[in-house]
Amino acid sequence: MVIGLGLIGTGFMGKAHALAYRNARAVFGDLPETRLARLCDMPDERAQAMADQLGFASATGDWRALVADPAVDIVSITTPNGLHREMALAAIAAGKHVHCEKPLALRLEDAREMEAAAREAGVRTMVGYNYIHNPAIAHARKLVAEGAIGRPVHFRGWVDEDYQADPDLPWSWRATRAEAGLGTLGDLGCHLVSMSQILMGPIESLIADTQIIHADRPLPDGSGRAAVENEDAASAIIRYGSGAQGTLCSSRSAWGRKNRLDWELHGTKGMIAFGQERLNELQLYTNEGPAGRQGFRTILTGPEHPPYGAFCPAPGHQLGFGDLKTIEAAAFLRAIASGAPVFPDFTDALAIEAVIHAIDVSAREGRRVTL
């Protein structure tokens, strides 16, 4: 079986997708062959240059031509958020499988349309929440399921970066709801929600607040300033369906934070802590033994934490961002070949993104929102 990949977009995430699909079979072995069939970017000259660099068989500046290409089985969408809906719906209508970066769309109603279209067409889908494919996170889920920390009662999470911290950073499309949708919630907060829900289960309700830290920014041409329409920071107090509670906080204007996605999961017998900037480690505390000997212990991921061993036979040698994307691509290829379930698909992503939109609604309307 040979699966043809069509990639739309060659920025940070586009390159990550290309490398992941190129490497997946070499890492895991039990996957169908992936042919890098076609690449799309603009202008045509960039598309051709990137196709040559990444090893794609052909290039185009027209994404519709890529979707229509019979050599393409998977359409991988790594464009700005506002383009996801149109591209995904066209790919689904053409009978293609779709791997779409998060979030699905700018508006929740658009995400619902995409999810319904994929479900009705019977195509396979995957959404780029690659942090949850970390072997350390899989081990944390295992610890929770085994009762290592007792009954989960509270989740406390933060996701922060500083790419919008500078008040003199020029205004861009990222500041508008029409082109970017939500701010830190759509870019960062959704990752935290995905992590929270796979560990704690679905969120039942929440109450939230948001903040625009820099009300306006200088226009790139120096002609004045333009308003920032979406949130720089957001916080929510949440209640899970299990009865557990928690807090979620996100900021894109947190000086010094580069990829901070930290959480603590508290249980009746202990707790687990994780930090994305040290993504190969878990901290585990269990209330066992003499009080004078109790304390946190570091679990460093290795071959005992699948699928780490597929990359490296030695513990402590570290996986990285690109490796998590390779695990994600491998899961999608395996699901297409076998018909097995895949997570997170459009249906799973819709549930994640319903939460970030509920946070936005709660903040704007000043009320608790039930999901």
CB atoms within 10 A of CB 186: 25
Domain identity same for 172 and 320 = yes
Domain identity same for 195 and 314 = yes
Helix (H, G, I), strand (E, B) or coil at 238: strand
Domain identity same for 65 and 160 = no
What pLDDT does residue 51 have? 98
Domain identity same for 311 and 217 = yes
Domain identity same for 220 and 357 = yes
What pLDDT does residue 25 have? 98
Largest CA distance in the chain: 68
Q: Which of 123, 141, 168 finishes a domain? A: 123
Domain identity same for 93 and 168 = no
Q: Which tokens sit at 202?
A: 């679905």
CATH number at residue 220: 3.30.360.10
Domain identity same for 285 and 161 = yes
CATH number at residue 38: 3.40.50.720
Q: Which of 64, 90, 123 finishes a domain? A: 123
Q: Which pTM does this prediction carry?
A: 0.95
Domain identity same for 82 and 219 = no
Domain identity same for 56 and 93 = yes
Domain identity same for 80 and 174 = no
Task: List, for residues 234-278, the tens digit of each pLDDT value.
Answer: 999 999 999 999 999 999 999 999 999 999 999 999 999 999 999
Domain identity same for 151 and 87 = no
Domain identity same for 157 and 267 = yes
Task: List, for residues 10-35, the tens digit of each pLDDT value.
Answer: 999 999 999 999 999 999 999 999 99
Q: Please classify residue 30 by burial: count the beta carbons closer than 10 Å to its beta carbon, then call 0-12 exposed, 13-18 middle and 19+ buried.
A: exposed
Please state, rounded to an integer, the average pLDDT across all residues of the chain.
Answer: 97
d(CA 307, CA 27): 10
Burial state string for 5-21 with b = 16 or more CB within 10 A and e = fewer than 16: bbbbbbeebbbbbbbbb
> How would residue 141 be classed by pLDDT, with cut points 50, 70 and 90?
very high
CB atoms within 10 A of CB 36: 18
CB atoms within 10 A of CB 298: 9
Q: Which of 91, 123, 155 finishes a domain? A: 123
Query: What's the structural domain count of the chain?
Result: 2
d(CA 264, CA 311): 27
Domain span including residue 346: 132-370
Task: List, for residues 299-314, the tens digit of each pLDDT value.
Answer: 999 999 999 999 999 9
> How would residue 332 be classed by pLDDT, with cut points 50, 70 and 90?
very high
Task: List, for residues 214-235, the tens digit of each pLDDT value.
Answer: 999 999 999 999 999 999 999 9
